[in-house]
Chain A
């Protein structure tokens, strides 16, 4: 419950308001507080205290109700028919970090998988932590190819902010010197196992333009003094990250940015506070604050600030804007261009290749590396050799491991012989899955649905998003090139696979309020400011003008830190 309603107007007035406490909101909070702004962070979900609120952190495998933490079908049908679509998100070990679909419904014109959690920390608790920079090529592609609109910024604009973010959160990775996957500020890389090393050697020898590297992941492999001081420690290789990490070894808002923001004394963090609208003053063309609905009591209250950061995640920030209608903005906040709610993107995946690997029975590993291998994009790099019949490209994530005790159930036989065999690990297997760039299409939309209401009686979203010919052509190549590499490595039973993919399942939803140079064709400018209301910054995935093929959250963090710096400078100059 919030106690905002009992406070005076003065007490409800801050320098800055940040909406959302996930990856983007945590960064906004930290940067704005560290730069001296009294900042109110509004989070619709409940408090999650770092460490103490990770209730399954210490569970052993045998401590759960059902094997693998599986959740009974009846419970899934009732509460999680959509949140379970990944196959792994609804699990007793971490299902409490995901919304209940019956409380937070949405409507699908065609299938759309919207995986999300409403709590302090948002999805920073459950994210996969893969962290890559967009490259110069990514920022230039739209303009060069005449797709969507041009990014109003270039790699050089963001590079110092990538440096800043990586150094602070801690990213483990290997420098590769690739123009199309810029290196970052890395902590020591995690190591390959013997089969992954074999893949690397064979593939790189056969395809000089391809590289196999270790995943770049937001885990501490060598914490800095600053990280240690914040209470963060080195990764312990449990690979149980989605439960929440009491060691603070991977980056989450709860274990990192929100702690830093809190240390400044400038942050007021308000859980259970659903932001429903932005309040706009047409006289000054500025937002004056936001309206808040208490998630527990249903009370409504207004809070005020000079600058507002929308960091509620791509589709929710767009929801707030679409839900903020006024005489000045009859079609949604800042939506003079008609682009709000359009150009929804994700990364399409679930296509790649798998193989069995003969040999190496005398080699094994110890520990559970919370990371895999990464194969950076190698298509359409600007030369003739890498040019394909589709635009953009894809990268692969994957890994090799030895089969476990599950491997014999589908074979003939049982009894003491089977039991004995299972005491040893099985053969090595390897799999790689492509993650492909999806183009921004204007008619891939989300819109407000006033018929279907959420648990608070608020309108919900309708998704109408599909992949098109470019993605389909790319998927074909993703499978073929995957097979080609595993074959080049000399592995056995190489087979391509493709499973049905629906937008959203990549959990990298982007677009909806794109940045651009022209207010007539974009919602945000190059600093993530709403063109028509410059004291509102939108710095989550909704700002993205194109998707690249790399995991996006690092870019949201860099955009947020850059925008926060801009906002504070502008405030000082009296320009907001």
Chain B
């Protein structure tokens, strides 16, 4: 039986979030998101070209480029492609694949165009609906032991993971020290300024 906080924790744990000191050992490594080289057409092994275009639009809205780089700029899409091809379980692959198909179906129905061709506003509007649906599902999952995953939650997780474990995400957007040297147990946050990547 799980409750809301447990769900939050599980979701965080799936991204390597530390819950307890003993679990912290599992949280220390990272990933392979590498920025696309200019002019390179990524060679996807799992995404179809249409799916890759949809995923690129989703990633760009979830963690957009602002005055700092966004998920797409740090290589989130090839990264997710690699994850789906080589890491995820068949069931999860199916959830994402069906989700991407549904995105285009609903986009066609609402705007007669594939999702990747919509304006940013139209994309955000549709995504807000799926986000609410995923959130509602997670609320109704409270108490269930092994709830199925929602495609939008998965997309959000994968994008977040790709961004914050990339070299840019970890070292420039956040900060990371390979060899901290000291343990300073109590420091004013103003002195540090940004969250640690790990």
Tell me if B160 and A409 are in contact (CB < 8 A).
Answer: yes
**When the two chains form the complex, which single residue of A192, A404, A415 contacts B196, counting CB atoms closer than 8 Å?**
A404
Q: Write out the residue numbers on chain B whose beta carbons fall within 8 Å of the beta carbon of A128.
A: 22, 25
Shortest distance in angstroms between B86's beta carbon and chain A's nearest beta carbon? 6
Known A-B contacts A62-B31, A405-B197; A419 and B63 likewise in contact (beta carbons under 8 Å) = yes
Known A-B contacts A65-B32, A72-B87, A414-B62; A409 and B195 likewise in contact (beta carbons under 8 Å) = no
A59 interfacial by beta-carbon distance below 8 Å: yes
Tell me if A367 and B186 are in contact (CB < 8 A).
Answer: no
Q: Write out the residue numbers on chain A whose beta carbons fall within 8 Å of the beta carbon of B188.
A: 362-364
A239 interfacial by beta-carbon distance below 8 Å: yes
A63 interfacial by beta-carbon distance below 8 Å: yes
Tell me if A236 and B197 are in contact (CB < 8 A).
Answer: no
**When the two chains form the complex, which single residue of B18, B29, B131 contacts A59, counting CB atoms closer than 8 Å?**
B29
Q: In whole angstroms, what is the CA distance A324 to B176 when docked? A: 53
Tell me if B187 and A365 are in contact (CB < 8 A).
Answer: yes
Q: In whole angstroms, what is the CA distance A87 to B27 when docked? A: 11
Closest to B159 in A: A414
Tell me if A60 and B167 are in contact (CB < 8 A).
Answer: yes
Q: In whole angstroms, what is the CA distance A493 to B6 when docked? A: 12
Name A's interface SS.
Answer: loop
Q: Write out the residue numbers on chain B whose beta carbons fall within 8 Å of the beta carbon of A144.
A: none
Tell me if B30 and A416 are in contact (CB < 8 A).
Answer: no
Encoded as 1 (CB less than 8 Å from any B CB) or 0, chain A from 475 to 507 comes to 000000000000000000101010000000000
B95 interfacial by beta-carbon distance below 8 Å: no
Q: In whole angstroms, what is the CA distance A408 to B159 when docked? A: 12
Tell me if A368 and B198 are in contact (CB < 8 A).
Answer: yes
Closest to B8 in A: A410
Tell me if B17 and A419 are in contact (CB < 8 A).
Answer: no
B24 interfacial by beta-carbon distance below 8 Å: yes
B56 interfacial by beta-carbon distance below 8 Å: no
Tell me if B164 and A405 are in contact (CB < 8 A).
Answer: yes
A91 interfacial by beta-carbon distance below 8 Å: yes
Known A-B contacts A61-B165, A87-B26, A397-B21; A415 and B64 likewise in contact (beta carbons under 8 Å) = yes
Encoded as 1 (CB less than 8 Å from any A CB) or 0, chain B from 12 to 38 comes to 110111111111111111111110000
**When the two chains form the complex, which single residue of B6, B22, B127, B180 contacts A237, counting CB atoms closer than 8 Å?**
B180
Encoded as 1 (CB less than 8 Å from any B CB) or 0, chain A from 49 to 68 comes to 00000001011111111111
Q: In whole angstroms, what is the CA distance A239 to B174 when docked? A: 18
Most buried by A among B68, B170, B187: B187
Shortest distance in angstroms between B155's beta carbon and chain A's nearest beta carbon? 9
Shortest distance in angstroms between B39's beta carbon and chain A's nearest beta carbon? 23
Tell me if B186 and A363 are in contact (CB < 8 A).
Answer: yes
Looking at A306-314, A421-429, A437-445, the stretch in contact with chain B turns out to be A421-429
Q: In whole angstroms, what is the CA distance A373 to B24 when docked? A: 13
Shortest distance in angstroms between B136's beta carbon and chain A's nearest beta carbon? 10
B53 interfacial by beta-carbon distance below 8 Å: no
Shortest distance in angstroms between A71's beta carbon and chain B's nearest beta carbon? 9
Q: In whole angstroms, what is the CA distance A354 to B190 when docked? A: 27
| Residues of A in contact with B, size category | 35 or more
Known A-B contacts A61-B197, A68-B26, A91-B29; A237 and B15 likewise in contact (beta carbons under 8 Å) = no
Q: Write out the residue numbers on chain B whose beta carbons fall within 8 Å of the beta carbon of A426.
A: 195
Q: Write out the residue numbers on chain A whose beta carbons fall within 8 Å of the beta carbon of B83.
A: 66-67
Q: Write out the residue numbers on chain A whose beta carbons fall within 8 Å of the beta carbon of B15.
A: 67-68, 405-406, 409
Tell me if B183 and A362 are in contact (CB < 8 A).
Answer: no
B89 interfacial by beta-carbon distance below 8 Å: yes
Interface residues of A in 23-69 (CB under 8 A from B): 56, 58-69
Tell me if B28 and A403 are in contact (CB < 8 A).
Answer: no
A281 interfacial by beta-carbon distance below 8 Å: no
Q: In whole angstroms, what is the CA distance A300 to B83 when docked? A: 45
Give how many B residues have a beta carbon under 8 Å from the other chain's beta carbons: 81
A289 interfacial by beta-carbon distance below 8 Å: no
Tell me if A87 and B23 are in contact (CB < 8 A).
Answer: yes
Shortest distance in angstroms between A256's beta carbon and chain B's nearest beta carbon? 21
Interface residues of A in 71-112 (CB under 8 A from B): 72-73, 87-88, 91-93
**When the two chains form the complex, which single residue of B70, B127, B153, B195 contacts A423, counting CB atoms closer than 8 Å?**
B195
**When the two chains form the complex, which single residue of B7, B8, B26, B195 contacts A425, counting CB atoms closer than 8 Å?**
B195
Shortest distance in angstroms between B89's beta carbon and chain A's nearest beta carbon? 5
A399 interfacial by beta-carbon distance below 8 Å: yes
**When the two chains form the complex, which single residue of B12, B34, B173, B176 contacts A409, counting CB atoms closer than 8 Å?**
B12
A398 interfacial by beta-carbon distance below 8 Å: yes
Shortest distance in angstroms between A213's beta carbon and chain B's nearest beta carbon? 14
Tell me if B165 and A91 are in contact (CB < 8 A).
Answer: no
Tell me if A61 and B170 are in contact (CB < 8 A).
Answer: yes
Tell me if A414 and B165 are in contact (CB < 8 A).
Answer: no
Known A-B contacts A407-B12, A424-B195; A66 and B86 likewise in contact (beta carbons under 8 Å) = yes
Q: In whole angstroms, what is the CA distance A365 to B12 when docked? A: 21
Q: In whole angstroms, what is the CA distance A60 to B168 when docked? A: 12
Closest to B135 in A: A412
Encoded as 1 (CB less than 8 Å from any A CB) or 0, chain B from 170 to 184 comes to 100110111111111
**When the two chains form the complex, which single residue of A61, A91, A371, A429 contacts B31, counting CB atoms closer than 8 Å?**
A61
Most buried by B among A59, A62, A416, A493: A62
Most buried by A among B23, B70, B185: B185
18 interchain pairs, CB-CB under 8 A? A61-B170, A62-B31, A66-B86, A72-B86, A192-B185, A236-B181, A237-B182, A238-B179, A364-B192, A366-B177, A366-B180, A368-B180, A409-B15, A409-B157, A414-B63, A415-B63, A418-B63, A429-B19
| Beyond known contacts A69-B30, A238-B180, A425-B196: 20 more, CB 8 A cutoff | A56-B29, A60-B178, A62-B165, A64-B32, A69-B28, A69-B29, A87-B26, A88-B23, A91-B29, A238-B178, A354-B19, A363-B188, A367-B182, A373-B21, A401-B18, A410-B138, A419-B63, A424-B195, A426-B195, A431-B20
Q: Which 4 A-B pairs rank lowest in CB-CB distance, beginning with the nearest?
A: A61-B30, A88-B26, A69-B29, A372-B21
Identify the B interface with A (CB < 8 A).
3, 5-8, 11-13, 15-34, 61-64, 66, 68, 70, 82-83, 86-89, 124, 127, 131-132, 135, 138, 153, 156-157, 160-162, 164-167, 170, 173-174, 176-190, 192, 194-198
